[in-house]
């Protein structure tokens, strides 16, 4: 509704947002005035010796009202985490920021931080709360510096700086600060008790969701405007290429790099820092099939209310840019912007990562030792091993070394079971890039096997057919066939996902069916996520795919806000090595922690 209102009359919409924001300020100030007035009336009465129960209740209530109001006005927001960078250390970076400031006519950036995230952000944090001034923080992720070349990285910074532009930027930033303050206040009041707290919580339950909804369109528009400014300063093509490369490189880091890095624990009992290796790997061109598939999936994601950032397709359309992979990828990153001693930041974050992950690395090293033992057991009985055991052996060997040669294991498995889905899928991923005919033949066999891998099969086939290969022309007939197959598979997946994600979380559920080794693998992965305190796992029986193993994962994330919880849960869905699709939910309002403890059996992981 807010987006429609904004599109119909932007000025009226902004006035409505300002008025609704003012209502929140009026409520806080009104409560403060009421509480102060009651105190001014009650205290003299008590000082004159008129002790009555009603006066004591009024004193306690008015004091509570004043206290809650002061908390609302003076709520503090933590500074971003990271290492601060100064102009003396990184003169080129600060010169670039100053040029952007002059062109955009924005306010100065007071602090620049470097952290270990694949991201960049700019925040205007309230200095003292709702009525305080603002401090501008720019946070840059080292992995992003390593991934993008200088022009594309500067386009990202221009986008972030674009949030602070002119009058519209100041209004959007004020609304952002107000949203942040209300969010912190709402969170801090959730566990309060007493009459005043109950009344305050009632107002917040009514006001806060409506305030977030009314300001959502403003935040969404602000993202488009920031992209437009980046396109104006660095060029539309550069900005579009940066957006696409971030999607592809980010997916590669999640799917490929981090798993490979943790596998180094097999031969190293002491942790190894990732960023030196990351710098080298990010200088390479992504594999074509992977990049095509990552872009396809990014373009399919629709802009929804889970995030104020629009989807990639909508952002590219707003820039009037073509949604294709860059003709030239970034090679070497933009680390030089951090000055002549830039390499020391890589070493610093490597050491910090080793310190932060020492315990998890040690446990992972121990688990990989057990993986090695299991692999040796299977290796010893290869002559009698079933296809399923050979597929398991291949997976274990890839745990120990992501580059291990396992093609022979998959081929032997297929000799023993002609249409084993795991062996077919594994062999597809082992064939060289130029063997399109071999891949497509295996994918046809996997589709005809009628397994639960059909969605993956169709996706992989389309990605292969879309990737230019020397000596192969575009096969329009095969492309049309696989696109129809993908549509059918996707419809089936959507029906299954609706069953999995339905609000009756605990209907059609049973205890998990993981083997002891599979459970240990899950626990070893959860150890890497320091915010996960506990985890529960149940199997969900799906009518759409009765034979498919599907799961609900519940995690307790007590030290995170809801936005961060949402992002972590989506990451866990992509990265946990469960033998089937999984929906990851956190203990909150739905489902509550009590519901999980009552219906999800015992935790499978406790930190």
3-class SS shares of the chain: helix, strand, coil, % to 5: 65, 10, 30
- Predicted local distance difference test score (pLDDT) of residue 129: 54
Q: Read out DSSP for 150-207?
A: HHHHHHHHHHHHHTT-HHHHHHHHHHHHHHHHHHHHHHHHTT--SHHHHHHHHHHHHH
Higher pLDDT, 406 or 559: 406
Dmax (CA) of the chain? 99
- Predicted local distance difference test score (pLDDT) of residue 599: 92
Q: Is this structure's pTM higher than 0.85?
A: no
Q: In angstroms, what CA-CA distances link 298 with 125, 313, 325, 543?
A: 31, 8, 12, 29
- Predicted local distance difference test score (pLDDT) of residue 468: 86
Please state which of the ranges 76-85, 99-108, 397-406, 584-593 shows the lowest mean pLDDT: 76-85
| Kind and range of the H or E run holding 536 | strand 534-540
What's the distance, CA 216 to chain centroid?
19
| pLDDT of 307 higher than 70 | no
Higher pLDDT, 190 or 435: 435
By C-alpha distance, which of 483, 468, 124 is closest to 327? 468
Q: In angstroms, what CA-CA distances link 338 with 135, 217, 315, 395?
A: 22, 35, 29, 40
Cβ neighbours of residue 347 under 8 Å, at least 6 residues apart?
273, 276
Q: Which of 74-78, 197-201, 383-387 is predicted most confidently?
A: 383-387
Q: CA Rg, the chain, in Å?
A: 28
Structure confidence by residue, pLDDT tens digits, 542-575: 988 888 899 999 999 987 877 778 888 988 998 8
* Domain architecture of the chain: domains with CATH: 1-73 (no CATH), 80-363 (no CATH), 509-606 (3.30.70)
What does the pLDDT average to over 358-386? Answer: 92
For residues 109 and 223, give the distance between their C-alpha atoms in angstroms, rounded to a whole number: 19
From the number of C-beta atoms within 10 Å of its C-beta (0-12, 13-18, 19+), residue 87 rates as middle
By C-alpha distance, which of 572, 497, 496 is closest to 536? 572
By C-alpha distance, which of 349, 346, 351, 345 is closest to 270? 351
Structure confidence by residue, pLDDT tens digits, 31-81: 778 878 888 887 887 777 666 777 777 777 777 777 766 766 665 667 788
Q: Which residue has the tokens 């009650």?
A: 42
- Predicted local distance difference test score (pLDDT) of residue 174: 67
Q: Read out DSSP for 93-121?
A: HHHHHHHHHHHHT-PPP-EEEEESSS-EE
CB 334 within 8 A of CB 145: yes
CB 507 within 8 A of CB 541: no
What does the pLDDT average to over 358-387? Answer: 92
Structure confidence by residue, pLDDT tens digits, 422-442: 999 999 999 998 899 999 999
For residues 417 and 414, give the distance between their C-alpha atoms in angstroms, rounded to a whole number: 5
Higher pLDDT, 503 or 205: 205
CB 143 within 8 A of CB 345: no
For residues 191 and 551, give the distance between their C-alpha atoms in angstroms, rounded to a whole number: 31
Please state which of the ranges 125-129, 290-294, 478-482, 504-508 shows the lowest mean pLDDT: 125-129
Share of the chain above pLDDT 90, in %: 51
Higher pLDDT, 212 or 365: 365
- Predicted local distance difference test score (pLDDT) of residue 517: 85
For residues 583 and 521, give the distance between their C-alpha atoms in angstroms, rounded to a whole number: 18
CB 587 within 8 A of CB 556: yes
Residue 511 DSSP label:
E
| pLDDT of 196 higher than 80 | no
By C-alpha distance, which of 498, 516, 523 is closest to 576? 523
Higher pLDDT, 574 or 400: 400
Classify strands 134-141 and 111-115 as parallel, antiparallel or unpaired.
parallel
Both tokens assigned to 82? 């990271």
Q: How many other CB atoms sit within 10 Å of the CB of residue 492?
A: 15
For residues 210 and 204, give the distance between their C-alpha atoms in angstroms, rounded to a whole number: 10
3-state secondary structure of 29: helix
pLDDT-derived band at 261 (thresholds 50, 70, 90) equals very high
- Predicted local distance difference test score (pLDDT) of residue 60: 74
pLDDT-derived band at 164 (thresholds 50, 70, 90) equals confident
CB 42 within 8 A of CB 58: yes
Residue 270 DSSP label:
S
Both tokens assigned to 482? 């696989």
Both tokens assigned to 271? 């942790």
- Dump strand ranges (E) for 205-319: none
Higher pLDDT, 9 or 439: 439
pLDDT-derived band at 242 (thresholds 50, 70, 90) equals very high
Please state which of the ranges 52-61, 399-408, 486-495 shows the lowest mean pLDDT: 52-61
- Predicted local distance difference test score (pLDDT) of residue 206: 85
CB 169 within 8 A of CB 202: no
């Amino acid at each position: 509704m807010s987006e429609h209102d904004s599109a119909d009359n932007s000025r009226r919409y902004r006035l409505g947002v300002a008025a609704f924001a003012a209502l929140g300020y009026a409520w806080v100030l009104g409560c403060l005035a009421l509480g102060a007035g009651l105190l001014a009336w009650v205290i003299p009465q008590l000082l004159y010796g008129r002790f009555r129960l009603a006066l004591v209740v009024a004193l306690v209530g008015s004091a509570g009202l004043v206290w809650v109001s002061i908390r609302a006005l003076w709520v503090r927001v933590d500074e971003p985490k990271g290492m601060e960078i100064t102009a003396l250390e990184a003169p080129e970076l600060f010169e670039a920021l100053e040029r952007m400031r002059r062109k955009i006519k924005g306010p100065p950036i007071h602090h620049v931080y470097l952290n270990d995230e694949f991201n960049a952000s700019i925040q205007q944090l309230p200095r003292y709360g709702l009525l305080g001034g603002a401090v501008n923080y720019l946070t840059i992720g080292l992995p992003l510096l390593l991934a993008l070349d200088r022009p594309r990285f500067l386009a990202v910074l221009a986008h972030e700086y674009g949030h602070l532009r002119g009058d519209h930027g100041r209004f959007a930033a004020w609304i952002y600060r107000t949203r942040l303050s209300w969010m912190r206040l709402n969170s801090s009041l959730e566990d309060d008790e007493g009459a005043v707290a109950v009344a305050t919580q009632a107002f917040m339950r009514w006001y806060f969701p409506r305030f977030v909804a009314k300001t959502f369109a403003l935040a969404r528009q602000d993202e488009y405007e920031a992209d437009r400014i980046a396109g104006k300063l660095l060029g539309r093509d550069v900005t579009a290429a940066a957006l696409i490369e971030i999607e592809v490189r980010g997916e590669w880091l999640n799917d490929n790099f981090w798993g490979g890095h943790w596998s180094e624990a097999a031969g190293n009992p002491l942790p190894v820092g990732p960023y030196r290796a990351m710098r080298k790997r990010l200088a390479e061109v992504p594999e074509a099939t992977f990049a095509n598939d990552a872009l396809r999936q990014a373009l399919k994601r629709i802009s929804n209310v889970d995030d104020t950032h629009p989807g990639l397709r909508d952002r590219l359309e707003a820039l009037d840019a073509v949604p294709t992979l860059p003709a030239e990828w970034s090679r070497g990153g933009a680390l030089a912007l951090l000055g002549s001693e830039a390499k020391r930041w890589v070493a610093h974050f490597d050491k910090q990562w080793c310190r932060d992950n020492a315990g998890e690395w040690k446990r992972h090293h121990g688990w990989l030792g057990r993986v090695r033992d299991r692999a040796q057991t299977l290796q010893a009985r290869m002559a009698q091993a079933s296809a399923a055991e050979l597929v398991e052996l291949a997976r274990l060997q890839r745990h120990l070394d992501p580059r291990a040669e396992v093609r022979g294991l998959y081929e032997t498995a297929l000799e023993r079971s002609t249409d084993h889905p795991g062996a077919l899928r594994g062999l597809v991923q082992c064939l060289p890039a130029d063997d399109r005919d071999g891949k497509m033949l295996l994918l046809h066999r996997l589709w005809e096997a009628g397994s639960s891998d059909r969605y993956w099969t169709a996706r992989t086939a389309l990605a292969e057919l879309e990737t230019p290969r020397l000596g192969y022309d575009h096969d329009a007939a095969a492309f049309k066939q696989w696109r129809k197959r993908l549509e059918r598979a996707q419809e089936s997946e959507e029906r299954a996902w609706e069953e999995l994600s339905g609000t009756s979380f605990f209907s059609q559920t049973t205890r998990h069916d993981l083997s002891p080794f599979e459970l240990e693998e899950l626990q070893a992965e959860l150890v890497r996520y320091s915010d996960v305190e506990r985890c529960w796992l149940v199997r969900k029986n799906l009518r759409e795919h009765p034979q498919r193993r599907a799961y609900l994962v519940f995690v307790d994330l007590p030290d995170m806000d809801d936005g961060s919880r949402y992002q972590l849960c989506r990451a866990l869905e992509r990265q946990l090595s469960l033998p089937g699709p999984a929906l990851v939910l956190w203990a909150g309002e739905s489902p509550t922690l009590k519901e999980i403890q009552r219906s999800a059996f015992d935790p499978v992981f406790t930190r």
